[in-house]
Amino acid sequence: MKKNLLFFTVPLSLLLFSLTGCVKLNCPLPEDLNRTVKKETLSSSSASADIKRNNWRMDDLCANRISFVDNGKKWNLILVRNTKQPNGPFWFLPHDNENAALDAAVYASKKYGGGFLAVEANGNRYAGGKDPNRNFKAGSHYSQTIFKIIDTFKPKQMPYLTLHNNKNGHSKFGGEGTVSMRVTSNKTKSYPAGKIAIGSKKGLHDEDSLVYLAGKNTNQKKINALNSQGLNVKYERVSRGSNDNSMSNYIALYKSRHGYVNIEVESGDSSTQKKMIDKVMKLIYRGEL
């Protein structure tokens, strides 16, 4: 005699968020931050694609959706924190189309504590026609709010940390997401750790794998420390006249005592980005960055 079997259809989003070890949602925010941003309700159905993709490995992490308004434009962000190990590095991810960077941020937050802040833009590089990494104007509400959030969680002794992904290869004409060790300018200079590899996802030696530093003056000690770990370095010398309203330029001009470290890899190469995070964190803990 055959037994009748009953099958139930469960929405994938609910299934993901029912697994053990999944991300926690809507944790309490520090009171001072509550007065700065609006806390939006985050649920399994409204979570971003990034959170859903990483949900299974985000235990001990808590995600909040927060927002603020600048010049009539609403900015939405995902704030992720390691609630069991809060005093670790804190990362900023300005571009919502750079998935490998967010996956690497989850890795870093799990391994070293701390957390990260990521701009939400429906999976796009731009948010409402604006590049979130070219909106850091002196005295703007956007700049003040982003740094208020970051400074709430970032340990004072650590530099400002960001994660980016690049398109494969370089363009002599520059352009969005085309940072490469093979391209220099009157502002930037490349300091390779060895022979530069050309092609797709060539690991630490890939032309797209680099640590991007910025300052008013070149810091050779930091460059040497990174090169000693096998990491390529691109260094930008910043001045008020060359300011492009990027986070790196803002920090160099107005927050230089903290320093800036940006880890960049080719799109999709999160494994290399994780290796680079480990090497950078080793130098940070040594006090060399």
If we measure between CA atoms, which residue out of 176, 7, 153 comes closest to residue 85? 153
Range of the domain at 71: 22-171+178-286
In-domain check, residue 6: no
How much is the pLDDT for 205? 97
We report the CATH number of the domain holding residue 165 as 3.40.630
The pTM score is 0.91
> Which residues touch 59 (CB under 8 Å, ≥6 apart)?
20, 21, 22, 23
How much is the pLDDT for 5? 40
Q: Tell me how many domains the chain contains.
A: 1
- Label residue 132 by pLDDT band (50, 70, 90): very high
Strand ranges in 58-201 using DSSP code E only, listed in sequence order:
61-70, 73-82, 90-93, 115-120, 160-166, 188-191
Cα 99 from Cα 177, distance rounded (Å): 13
Lowest mean pLDDT of 54-63, 164-173, 274-283, name the range. Answer: 164-173
In-domain check, residue 58: yes
In-domain check, residue 2: no
Cα 26 from Cα 16, distance rounded (Å): 17
What's the distance, CA 279 to chain centroid?
16
> Which residues touch 4 (CB under 8 Å, ≥6 apart)?
none
In-domain check, residue 114: yes
In-domain check, residue 34: yes
Per-residue pLDDT tens digits for 74-118: 999 999 999 999 999 999 999 999 999 999 999 999 999 999 999
More confident position, 99 or 170: 99
Q: What angle, 0 to 180 degrees and rounded to 10, lies between the N-to-C axes of helices 220-228 and 270-286?
A: 120
In-domain check, residue 14: no
In-domain check, residue 195: yes
Per-residue pLDDT tens digits for 200-246: 999 999 999 999 999 999 999 999 999 999 999 999 999 999 999 99
